[in-house]
Structure 1
């Protein structure tokens, strides 16, 4: 199969897994920092083991790459913590939708990283996604935690967009598993200074949730993302991944009994339409 098409299929599957990560912000009774720390330990061990079992090298090619890996890891640490915090402040729906302003941010800043022109189709896709996200966001007041959740979520979106663009430009020559292994290692070390005693007092069920989060919903999908970015532009990933809020909302309905309104469904349709357009457009460009 053509590597671009294979990356697109992997990306769509990855979005489903990532959509489920939002639920852990509610079902794990720990702070966003503690959840991220536990998540990074499990993911780091699994990813390094995967690289070793596949016969890959664990060391990086240049000293400069270690510094780049540290920078990417710091961006991911801040992104993951703010991602869970946004949903804990508000709700899964609001937190995820605020986060998914990152496709718009990516489309607008990618030309500065890639040396390409910003075309009107990119702007139009970004506007459609932004409108859909704004439509899903419920009415908020600056006096409640929902607004705080949106602000934190948008901050997380900026961090995520920067990480994706930097990864593609400076770190995409490494396998997805190795790249994420080093980034989760950095997350583990930097967050070890901020964890709380509650992490060590957690129940066995909580630890089971952390293992699930760190393996099937972190190590696997993020390795797939990093691999996909070797063949796809960060903008393509961002817009295709816009289906993640819809998956998250559906899972929140089924698992957490959240009750989205009609704006959620209409907005979800808009973001999915933009994601599908970007996928089809990418396939056409690579056929030329």
Structure 2
């Protein structure tokens, strides 16, 4: 049992490392954010469909659930578009540091979604996150557009996780992911069709849209299969053996892995000022501390409940 837990813990670290590599691929792929996300979602939904068929998972859903997943698909599509757009106009380090603010947005939105009171330490951590953001804005003002895109991406990621948090409790995660990706790429396709007929000569499904280099195809296939379909299915499996607290803390290492990889692969273009790393450290540390506080509170509540039922 202990060996199984260790294997799944190491597997989770590998998955988080793979997620961190997603940003690297976004930098390596030469096409723009919109077509990049279209190819990613189209291929990933195909890969997950094959998995669903192989596992004989039912795809029958209610109309209400379909519209929920349809909305979630739009949110995740916009999240990825702004994520890759941030990388294109700034760099990996800026994007991943800003993406860490997702936990801050969640702490604000969660009381609204789940109708609970705001917790005092969430307010304190929110102030610390804003402090970290202020430091980064001060020293990296030339990356302003990238910072804005990444913050929008972090906000959308938070909204998506809150929607999924509700539906994943009662529905199969692979089925959910398939519909979300399919709906997301469907909406992007409709947009591109509209742009083809009513936009400029460079918008929509143009000849240039389908002129993808061999290297870009290789990177896109890795992104769609390993970094999306495999990572999703693998993360669901390890959650059966590891506590939510362990999973949460490990996932928070994604920006750390990604930033280190970016510096190693891209060198000088990813090296930021010392103050940037101070700001990023404040944000990432705040996210981890938030998880520690939440876990301590959950353990205390569980312990109290056990004492009552004795």
- Select 1:188's aligned residue among 176, 185, 188: 185
| Structure-1 residue corresponding to 2:151 | 154
> Which residue of structure 2 lines up, in the alignment, with residue 36 of structure 1?
37
The separation in 2 between residues aligned to 1:29 and 1:65, in whole angstroms, is 36
1:63 corresponds in structure 2 to 63
Give the distance between the partners of 2:125 and 2:11, measured in 1 at CA: 22
Q: Does residue 256 of structure 1 match 2:266?
A: yes
**1:138 shift after superposition:** 6.1
* Matched-pair contact (CA < 8 Å) for 2:104–2:287: no
Other structure's SS at 1:59 match: coil
C-alpha offsets along residues 163-203 of structure 1, whole Å, 9 cap, x if unaligned? Answer: 11112124542222221111111122122242543342112
d(CA) in 2 for partners of 1:35 and 1:248?
Answer: 19
Tell whether the 8 Å contact from 1:12 to 1:240 is kept in structure 2 after alignment. yes
The 1-side partners of 2:9 and 2:127 are apart by: 22
RMSD of equivalent CA atoms: 3.2
User: Is contact 2:252-2:284 (8 Å) kept?
Assistant: yes
Specify every segment of 5 or more residues in structure 2 that has no aligned partner in the other structure, as ranges: 193-203, 304-310
Counterparts of 1:18 and 1:133 in 2: how far apart (Å)? Answer: 23
Closer, same or farther: CA 224–210 of 1 in aligned 2, 3 Å: same
Aligned to 2:173: 176
Contact 1:243 1:268 (8 Å CA) reproduced: no
2:221 maps to: 211
Partner of 2:128 in structure 1?
Answer: 128
Q: Which residue of 1 aligns with 2:100?
A: 100
Distance 1:47 1:92, change over 3 A: same
Residues 1:201 and 2:211 are matched in the alignment:
yes
Q: Who is 2:196 aligned against?
A: none
- Find the structure with the greater CA-based Rg: 2
Q: Normalising to structure 2: TM-score of the pair? A: 0.77
Q: Which moves more between the two structures, 265-274 or 46-55?
A: 265-274
Is the contact between residue 35 and residue 209 of structure 2 (CA under 8 Å) also seen in structure 1?
yes
Q: 1:76: which partner in 2?
A: 76
Judge conservation of contact 1:180–1:223 (CA < 8 Å) in 2: no
